[in-house]
Amino acid sequence: MPLTLALIAHDKMKPVLADWAAEHEAALRPHRLVCTGTTGGVIAARCPSLDITRVASGPLGGDQQIGALIVEKRIAGIIFFIDPLSPMPHDVDVKALTRLAVVYDVPIAMSRSTADLMLKGGLIAP
């Protein structure tokens, strides 16, 4: 059954997420992906076969848009490659998004290894 997954990445992590998506393109293809603006563009350029809906850029409200989808129970999982070493001006939005993921019990992977575990654990079925 197709799922709706959110894919998000901080600027320095966008290429890493695009690499991960390309590596797992076949497993992601049946699903609907919701991405923040720039992240969605990077992934779409790398993986044109994926069904990607882009919301606003994270600092312009995209994190909050995805948060609203979590509250509406329209997101089954989140892959959010964060950059823990760079300051983020919209850090409060990121914290709100991760808080909603926990409150609504939505699995969230914040690194390549946890995204791999989400895939291997069967949440994202090939």
Which one of the listed residues 11, 51, 63, 105 is annotated catalytic? 63
93 is catalytic: no
Measure the CA dihedral 51/98/61/42, to 10°. -40
Residue 105 scores a pLDDT above 70: yes
Of 87 and 13, which is predicted with more confidence?
13
Domain coordinates in residue numbering, the chain:
4-120
pLDDT for the residue 58: 87
Side-chain half-sphere CA neighbours of 34 within 13 A? 22
88: pLDDT confidence band, cut at 50, 70 and 90? confident
pLDDT for the residue 89: 72
Residue 57 near residue 41 (C-beta atoms within 8 A) = no
Residue 112 scores a pLDDT above 90: yes
CA distances from 28 to 16, 47, 95 (A): 16, 10, 26
Q: pLDDT of 16-74, one tens digit each?
A: 999 999 999 999 999 999 999 999 999 999 999 999 999 999 889 999 999 999 999 99
pLDDT for the residue 86: 80
Residues in a beta bridge with 118? none
Residue 126 scores a pLDDT above 70: no
Quick one: how far is CA 10 from the chain centroid? 10
125: pLDDT confidence band, cut at 50, 70 and 90? low
Residues in a beta bridge with 51? 32
92: pLDDT confidence band, cut at 50, 70 and 90? confident
CA 38 to CA 22: how far, in whole Å?
16
CATH superfamily of domain region 4-120: Methylglyoxal synthase-like domain (3.40.50.1380)
